[in-house]
Amino acid sequence: MCGIVGYLGEKNTKEILLDGLKELEYRGYDSAGIAVLEDGNFSNYKAIGKLVNLEEKTKNYSTKGLAAGIGHTRWATHGKPTEINAHPHLGESSYVVHNGIIENYTELKKELINSGVKFLSQTDTEVIVHQFEKNLKSSKSAFEAFSKTIDELSGAYAILLVTKSEPNTIFYAKHGSPMLVGKNSENEKYFASSDTPLIGHCTDVNYFEDGDYGYVTCDEIAIFDQQGTKKEPQFSKLSQNKLSAQKDGFRFFMEKEIYEQTSVVSDTLMGRLSDEEIIFDEIDKNLFDGINEIKLCACGTSYHAAMTASYLFERYAKIKTSLEIASEFRYREPIMTKDTLFVVISQSGETADTLETLKMAKKAGLKTLVICNVDNSSMVRLADSTILTRAGIEKGVASTKAFATQVTVFWMLTLYIAKFKNSLSTQEISRQIKLLREVPSHLKVTDEMHERIKRLSKRYLHGHGFFFIGRDVFFPLALEGALKLKEISYLHAEGYPSGEMKHGPIALADPELFTIALLPEHLHYEKSKSNVEELSARDSTICAISSKEFDKADDFIKISTCKDYMLEFFEMMIVVQILSLEISIRLGNDVDMPRNLAKSVTVE
Ligand code: M6R
């Protein structure tokens, strides 16, 4: 995903910007650029591909004195990954970089074009700089023009802008995308979209809040809130330890990644939703020509996301869907017919078992699609088509945000297929797209919820086993909850369909058997409830997760009242992830690097 850096000071601005961008490389990008204003003149460089290309282009360039510079790594959303679409974007005498999405850019662009402005790129970002320059003509100062511009934008953004009309100043705004500013005793100012580029340069940092905007000069960091009221910066000391800074103050990467799900899922959705349809620019509609069946193949957590998709594809897209565990598929001499689209799902894109099945499908002449988080991975290079999940790097071995983004992609893909198959009405597709827009807010972890789970986790440190149970898409979620717990707590846990317990496992029921019951209000509530009551009657210890109070449970974790079962799915996903995390922490385990496991399993 995109990264932003900014610098105002007398050191070699180019080096500082490029080093900062390197620290953000892990987020993934497809082009990069910098713009530096020194002595009233701009120097601007852009390159597609990796930062080495930008380094090569700038190798003979350096600054000599005070300069204001901004830099950006871009992950294409609006417009292809070309040099013209790379940031910074130029107006007449100003440059801008931006993370996020300007939702009203089409209207603004239309007005600007009508007034004679020429656009070079296909990006939403370019409107910011032109709008600023339009406002500049009728404003008393660059800051007034910038404030007006920010007022006119809707959407999510972190913005840096430099302009000849106010040299030695960097203007900034933050709404929905992260950004911070740092200072040091040498009067230098640094901006970035996460703390790591600032480590070693700054002692104190201010994390901007949504709605903050303003400017920095050598002597001042001016911050205004959404209402335009000036406020004091709230500085905190910046840790000088890169590893702990990368954790953003969380105890473990897994915990950080759970909390990040709200923002990475916004990235997954970015540029892919219109009011009535899903836009996947990266896949050709003819990928589905002649296809009567979808075969989903994966391992571990990715397999659970695939299983969730199998319910959605058949229910909404009305397409026959089968599901395969990659390590099994490889050796069972499967029948592969050319009317099947073979879809592999992988966070890493390197899992050996999954990769081999992709090779088998290609060899059999099937069309292939990969849902993956890592661009340029082996699977991405091999498959006919790719949809990237945009989760950003996942460090915790126990996968969390990869799962959330995979399920989000699958939900979008369901609606994408449903549209051209006419299996859902336009109104229903629009309704579900509205729900998709709400997913990020349902993924927010509240202190209250985390605290509650932390407290009750102490009751679940022993026992002879856990059953996570659910119906329909809550069955793969139950499997995923059980896998999370197993991986990091080393306690035995199984995921089971709620209705299947009575066919055997209920024999295990006693107070030392812990049942984690997923009880969505909007999907088979009564049936699932009866299954839990059967276990409760046999004295199993029950922890129920639901929006509806449930008095047969020993513990109850309340999620919010949602409009649809898929939103309940995401809320419950957060609960099972945090429950596993807190149990593991109480047991003193290494949450991020559990024993015997590797992040990427490249062996059979
Ligand atoms: O990179 P992949 O998605 O292909 O990895 C598949 C599994 O190895 C992975 O999901 C594994 O199960 C995780 N440790 C789950 O937390």
Euclidean distance between CA atoms 412 and 429, whole angstroms:
10
Residue 37 burial by Cβ neighbours in a 10 Å radius (0-12, 13-18, 19+): buried
Q: What are phi and psi of 521, to 5 degrees?
A: -70, -30
Euclidean distance between CA atoms 117 and 111, whole angstroms:
9
Q: According to the model, what pLDDT value does residue 244 have? A: 67
Going by alpha carbons, the residue nearest to atom 9 of ligand 1 is 300
Euclidean distance between CA atoms 58 and 366, whole angstroms:
45
Q: How confident is the model at residue 28 (pLDDT cuts 50, 70, 90)?
A: low
Q: How confident is the model at residue 567 (pLDDT cuts 50, 70, 90)?
A: very high
- Close Cβ partners of 318 (under 8 Å, ≥ 6 residues apart): 418, 421, 423
Whether 415 and 424 have beta carbons less than 8 Å apart is answered as: yes
Q: 263 C-alpha to center of ligand 1: Å?
A: 21
Residue of 307, 347, 487 to test ligand 1 pocket, by largest number of atoms within 8 Å of CB: 347
Determine the atom of ligand 1 nearest the C-alpha atom of 301: 10
Residue of 299, 395, 577, 603 to test ligand 1 pocket, by largest number of atoms within 8 Å of CB: 299
What the block records as the tokens of 411 is: 């939900």
Flag whether pLDDT at 429 surpasses 80.
yes
Determine the atom of ligand 1 nearest the C-alpha atom of 402: 3
The mean pLDDT of 263-272, rounded to a whole number, is 92
Flag whether pLDDT at 89 surpasses 80.
yes
Euclidean distance between CA atoms 570 and 601, whole angstroms:
26
- Close Cβ partners of 581 (under 8 Å, ≥ 6 residues apart): 252, 254, 255, 258, 488, 591
Q: Rounded to two decimals, what is the model's pTM?
A: 0.75
Pocket of ligand 1 (CB under 6 A): 299-302, 346-348, 351, 354, 397-399, 483, 487, 597, 600-601
Going by alpha carbons, the residue nearest to atom 8 of ligand 1 is 300
Euclidean distance between CA atoms 202 and 196, whole angstroms:
10
Whether 33 and 45 have beta carbons less than 8 Å apart is answered as: yes
Report angle CA 100, 104, 106 to the nearest 5 degrees: 110
Q: According to the model, what pLDDT value does residue 195 have? A: 82
For the CA atoms of 508, 511, 515, 517, the dihedral, rounded to the nearest 10 degrees, stands at 130
Going by alpha carbons, the residue nearest to atom 7 of ligand 1 is 300
Q: 331 C-alpha to center of ligand 1: Å?
A: 20
**Domains along the chain?**
3-240 (3.60.20.10), 246-442 (3.40.50.10490), 445-587 (3.40.50.10490)
- Close Cβ partners of 439 (under 8 Å, ≥ 6 residues apart): 265, 269, 408, 566, 567, 570
The mean pLDDT of 405-411, rounded to a whole number, is 98
Euclidean distance between CA atoms 184 and 238, whole angstroms:
11
Task: Look at 114-118, 176-180, 228-232, 577-581 and tell me which has the smallest mean pLDDT.
Answer: 176-180
Task: Give catalytic residues, as residue numbers.
Answer: 2, 599
Share of the chain above pLDDT 70, in %: 98
Flag whether pLDDT at 212 surpasses 70.
yes
Flag whether pLDDT at 254 surpasses 90.
yes
Q: 303 C-alpha to center of ligand 1: Å?
A: 8
Q: 347 C-alpha to center of ligand 1: Å?
A: 7
Whether 428 and 285 have beta carbons less than 8 Å apart is answered as: no
β-bridge partners, 99: 158
Of 432, 437, 404, nearest in space to 573 by CA: 404
Q: What is the DSSP letter of 278?
A: B
Q: What are phi and psi of 363, to 5 degrees?
A: -65, -35
Amino acid code (one letter) for 23:
E
The whole-chain average pLDDT of the chain stands at: 93
What the block records as the tokens of 271 is: 């540029």
Residue of 400, 601, 604 to test ligand 1 pocket, by largest number of atoms within 8 Å of CB: 601
